[in-house]
Structure 1
Amino acid sequence: MDSWIYAFFTIGYVVLLLMGFYRANQTGLFTLGNLLIFVTMGLVYDNGVIAIGRWIGSGSFLEKLSFYRFVFHALFTPMLVLFSYYVIRESGVGWAKSKSAKRLFIAFTVLLIVLEIVTETMDVKLKVEEKFGALRYVDAESGGPPLMVLLTIIPLLSAGFYILKRQLWIWMLGGAVIMTAGRAIPLELDSTAVTNAFELILLICLWATKFYLDQKQRGVEV
């Protein structure tokens, strides 16, 4: 059953990705807001590999595909920090328009990428896991959400608060709160896809925020 759920999530991310490319073609590709494209691409790959795992079968090929799930997670997820900066800046927050603020967020993003690669990705040990109809390789030594994920949530929540306060737009904060609560509260469900469902909700809210800001200020480049 879970394989089909992950397939559904993959389709959802592909739809978001296509909408993102379409809007980027209208407003300009090279903006910080469009870093969300890379995050979404990583989630297309992540959910897609899990969705087809049972048909590929366990072995070196699926293990290699699964390893790149962790690589893309390390490279792309921290980009949500820069997306958060973009939202704060476009919400009209004065301090976010300074060059020093931009450099600080860039440095924090790079720090999180390096942190995840050094502490998680480089030494990841994969083991095969089959649950609820989905076959995948997981981190054999996982002890909960990586520090990088926890640190990424902070700017997301902050940006959600700022855009709610400045623009009365609740969806980014709502998505970030749902994602945070979903990771923090253990749910006893016959599925491994629960966390991925919260991720999809978050990405829908982030893309909705991106489209909202595009309508308010078209063609803004960094």
Structure 2
Amino acid sequence: MHNAKPLPNYLVQRFHGWKATTFADNKAWYKRLADEGQRPRAMVISCCDSRVHVTAIFGADQGEFFIHRNIANLVPPYEPDGNQHGTSAAVEYAVTALKVAHIVIVGHSSCGGVRGCHDMCAGHAPELEEKSSFVGRWMDLLRPGYERVKHIEDEAERVRALEKEAVLTSLQNLMTFPFVEAAVKSGDLSLHGLWNDIGEGGVEQYLPAENAFKPI
């Protein structure tokens, strides 16, 4: 691959700093992780957004979370159609191989993917309607969510509600996977929905009994 280039110097320097400090201070722990394999207690599905730092939010160390990130923290429905499904593959591996006890969907404020879905569904982002748009076709998963919130008059409130609909859509779609449904019904797996307010540092969790997100 002639297009690949060496890392930028600032990343090389940061690596050497990490190797000399964090790694050196915890070398035995890293060796144990390498030798014994991973045993994460939870899978976290979050957005690709660089501002969402789930390990920092929960103070997690290496080996605690099996993390999958995609645009707008969405899980597609179960569709074994022969196509490539990165998110579905990650869910399958987490549940059937790693046997995680929890799957946590983490949505967040100011989500660009959700905003794109909102604008696309409102007719203001024709570029996302193109069949060639990977983002647009991915955000089609959230179109039903837009239909549920489009009546909200205030745009900022509508977009925020759609961010939370992305979490609920993922929770609903998870239950279409037979192995997820079986693990949930047996009590071996629990599903959780969170929404992170980046600017305020807050986290809300979805409570089914109240059909609402509440601060934790």
TM-score by length of 2: 0.22
**Which one has the largest radius of gyration?**
2
Q: Which has the higher helix share?
A: 1
TM-score by length of 1: 0.21
Q: Which has the higher strand share?
A: 2
